[in-house]
Amino acid sequence: MSIKANIIVDQGSTYYTNIDVQTEDGQAVDLTGYSGRAQIRKHYTSTTATNFDIDIDNGDGTISLALSANATANLVAGRYVYDVELTSSDGIVERVLEGIVTVTPNVTR
C-alpha cells in the first residue's frame, strides 16, 4: 500500500526531494535490483505526463525525485496528481507514494 503525500512545486524552479522507503518497523528497504518511475498528470485519465527524474540508492532505501526548472516551467499552475512506482528485479510493481501536486505560478521570468 502506498503512502499519500501532497507536494508543492514552484513553476520555473528545480524540484528535488528524497523518499525513504522503510518497513513497518522503520528499517530501510534494500532496493537492490529495483527500478522506478514517477509521473505527474493533470488528472488520472490524462494522456499527457511529466516524468520525474528518479534515482534509487540501493543500500539505504532512498529514492530521489527531481524535476528540472525547464520541466516545471512547462507545467501550468494548478493542481495535478502523481505517483511513484518501484519494480523489483522479478517484475513485481508496487506503488510506494501518491498524492496531489500543487504547482504554484512563477512571477519572475
d(CA 9, CA 77): 9
**pLDDT value, residue 65:** 96
**pLDDT value, residue 11:** 97
- Write down the CATH superfamily of domain 3-104: Immunoglobulins (2.60.40.10)
> Longest C-alpha distance within the chain, in Å?
46
**pLDDT value, residue 15:** 98
Rounded mean pLDDT for each run of 10 residues along the chain, 109 residues in total: 90 96 87 94 96 89 95 97 95 95 92
Closest residue by Cα to residue 101 from 61, 43, 57: 43
Q: Please tell me whether the overall predicted TM-score, pTM, comes out greater than 0.85 for this model.
A: yes
User: Which residue intervals of 1-109 are DSSP H helices?
Assistant: 69-73
**pLDDT value, residue 1:** 63
- Domain extents in the chain: 3-104
**pLDDT value, residue 24:** 85
Backbone angles phi, psi at 10, to 5 degrees: -85, 120
As separate numbers, helices (DSSP H) first and strands (DSSP E) second, the chain gives: 1, 9
d(CA 38, CA 98): 9
Element (H, E) at 70: helix 69-73
